[in-house]
Structure 1
Amino acid sequence: MKIAFIVNNFPVLSQTFILNQITGLIEKGNEVDIYANPSHELKVHADVNNFNLMKRTYYFHTTSKNPFVNLLKSLRLILENSLKYPKFLYCLVKGFQHAKEASLPIWMLPYIAAPFLPAKNYDIIHCHFGPNGIKGILLKKLGLIQGKLITSFHGYDITYYLEKSGKNPYEDLFEIGDLFLPISEHWKNKLIELGCNENKIIVHRMGVDCRKFSFTPRYPSDDGQVQIVTIARLVEKKGVEYGIRAIAKLAKTNHKIEYNIIGDGPLMGYLQERIKQLGVENTVKLLGWKQQDEVVEILNNSHILLAPSVTSKDGDQEGIPVVLMEAMAMGLPVVSTQHSGIPELVKDAITGFLAPERDVDALAERLNYLIEHSEDWLKMGEAGCRYVEEHYNINKLNEDLFNIYKMIA
Structure 2
Amino acid sequence: MTNTPPIKRVLYVVSLFPCWSETFIVREIQTLIADGVDVRILSLKPPSEKLVQVDAKALSERTHYPDLGLGGVISTAMTVILHPFTSLTCIAAIVADMWRTPTVLLKSLVALSRGLQQVRWLNGFDPQLVHAHWATYPSTVAWALARITGRRFSFTCHAHDIFLDHQLLSRKVEEAALAVTISRYNIDWLSQHVSAQALPKLAVIHCGVDVQRTACQLDGRNGQHIVAVGRLDPIKGFDVLIDALHLLSERGIDYRCTVIGEGPLRTELEAKSRARSISERIDWVGALPQEAVQAALRDAAIFALPCQVAADGNRDGIPVALMEAMASGCAVVTTAVSGIPELVEDGVDGLLVAERDATALANALQQLIEHAELRRRLAIAARARVETDFDAQTEARKLRTLMSSAANGRKRLLVVIDEMEVGGSQRQTVQLLTHLDRNRWQPELVYFRERSFLIDELERAGVRVHHLPKRGRIDPGFFLALARVLRRGRYDIVHAFSLTAEIWTLLALRMQRQRPPFVGSIRGLYLNQTMWFWRIKRFILSRSAAVISNSAAGADVAARLGCHDRENIDVIGNGVQIPAPISTRERIILREQTGVPDDRVFALFVGRLVDQKNVFCLLDAIAALPAEQRPWLALVGDGPLRARLSAHVDKIGIGAQTVFLGERTDSTSLMQIADFLVLPSHEEGMSNVLLEAMAAGCPVIASAVGGNPELVSHEHTGLLFPSDDRTALARCITRLTGDAALRKSLSCQARVRAESQHSNSALALATQKVYERCMDADDARARSARRSPASPTSESDHA
Indicate whether the TM-score tops 0.5: yes
**Mapped partners of 2:67, 2:219: distance in 1:** 48
Alignment match, 1:204: 205
Alignment match, 2:152: 148
Deviations 1:19-69 (A, max 9, x none): 1101111112221111122342211111122x2x1221122466xxxxxxx
Stretch moving more, 132-141 or 272-281: 132-141
Change (3 A) 1:11 1:79: closer
**Mapped partners of 1:118, 1:126: distance in 2:** 16
Alignment match, 1:126: 131
1:14 to 21, 35, 52: 21
Deviations 1:253-294 (A, max 9, x none): 335200000001111111111111111121111001111111
Deviation at 1:360, TM superposition (A): 0.7
**Mapped partners of 1:270, 1:39: distance in 2:** 28
What are structure 2's unaligned runs of at least 5 residues? 1-7, 96-104, 408-799
Change (3 A) 1:100 1:268: same
The runs of at least 4 aligned residues of structure 1 exceeding 6 Å deviation read none
Does the CA-based 8 Å contact 2:253-2:366 persist in structure 1? no
Change (3 A) 1:129 1:80: closer
| Structure 2 counterpart of 1:152, one-letter code | T
| Structure 2 counterpart of 1:122, one-letter code | P
Does the CA-based 8 Å contact 1:218-1:331 persist in structure 2? no
Q: Secondary structure at the match of 1:381?
A: helix
**What is the percent sequence identity of the aligned residues?**
27
Deviations 1:342-391 (A, max 9, x none): 00001101111111111111111111111111121111111111110000
**Mapped partners of 1:219, 1:251: distance in 2:** 24
Deviations 1:98-152 (A, max 9, x none): 2120235596343331133344221121111112223211122233xx5331111
> What RMSD in Å do the two structures reach over aligned CA positions?
2.1
**Mapped partners of 2:74, 2:401: distance in 1:** 42
Q: Secondary structure at the match of 1:226?
A: strand
Does the CA-based 8 Å contact 1:208-1:394 persist in structure 2? yes
Does the CA-based 8 Å contact 1:153-1:183 persist in structure 2? yes
Change (3 A) 1:329 1:107: closer
2:165 to 158, 161, 167: 161
| Structure 2 counterpart of 1:204, one-letter code | I
2:116 to 113, 118, 121: 113
Alignment match, 2:216: 215
**Mapped partners of 1:250, 1:194: distance in 2:** 42
1:302 to 295, 300, 303: 300
Alignment match, 1:68: none
Does the CA-based 8 Å contact 1:92-1:110 persist in structure 2? no
Q: Secondary structure at the match of 1:151?
A: strand
Change (3 A) 1:80 1:16: closer
Change (3 A) 1:366 1:43: same
Deviation at 1:91, TM superposition (A): 2.6
Higher-RCO chain (CA-CA 8 Å, sequence separation at least 6): 1
**Mapped partners of 1:58, 1:276: distance in 2:** 45
2:388 to 378, 387, 390: 390
**Mapped partners of 1:87, 1:154: distance in 2:** 30
Alignment match, 2:194: 195
**Mapped partners of 1:119, 1:382: distance in 2:** 46
| Structure 2 counterpart of 1:192, one-letter code | S
Change (3 A) 1:364 1:255: closer
| Structure 1 counterpart of 2:287, one-letter code | W
- Corresponding position: 1:170 with 2:169: yes
Deviation at 1:156, TM superposition (A): 0.5
Alignment match, 2:46: 38
1:325 to 323, 326, 332: 323
Does the CA-based 8 Å contact 2:75-2:116 persist in structure 1? no
| Structure 2 counterpart of 1:183, one-letter code | I
**Mapped partners of 2:217, 2:84: distance in 1:** 56
Alignment match, 1:242: 240
Q: Secondary structure at the match of 1:251?
A: helix
Stretch moving more, 117-126 or 256-265: 117-126
**Mapped partners of 1:328, 1:398: distance in 2:** 19
- Corresponding position: 1:283 with 2:277: no
**Mapped partners of 2:121, 2:245: distance in 1:** 55
Give the number of aligned pairs.
383
**Mapped partners of 2:188, 2:148: distance in 1:** 31
**Mapped partners of 2:121, 2:63: distance in 1:** 15
What are structure 1's unaligned runs of at least 5 residues? 63-72
**Mapped partners of 1:354, 1:81: distance in 2:** 50
**Mapped partners of 1:375, 1:399: distance in 2:** 36
Give the TM-score of the pair, scaled to structure 2.
0.46
Q: Secondary structure at the match of 1:117?
A: helix
Change (3 A) 1:170 1:87: closer
- Corresponding position: 1:262 with 2:267: no
Deviation at 1:14, TM superposition (A): 1.1
Does the CA-based 8 Å contact 2:29-2:39 persist in structure 1? yes
**Mapped partners of 1:274, 1:39: distance in 2:** 33
| Structure 1 counterpart of 2:91, one-letter code | A
- Whose Rg is larger? 2
**Mapped partners of 1:325, 1:119: distance in 2:** 35
Change (3 A) 1:205 1:337: same
Give the TM-score of the pair, scaled to structure 1.
0.88
Q: Secondary structure at the match of 2:42?
A: strand
Does the CA-based 8 Å contact 1:45-1:291 persist in structure 2? yes
Change (3 A) 1:320 1:87: closer
Alignment match, 1:65: none
**Mapped partners of 1:220, 1:170: distance in 2:** 45
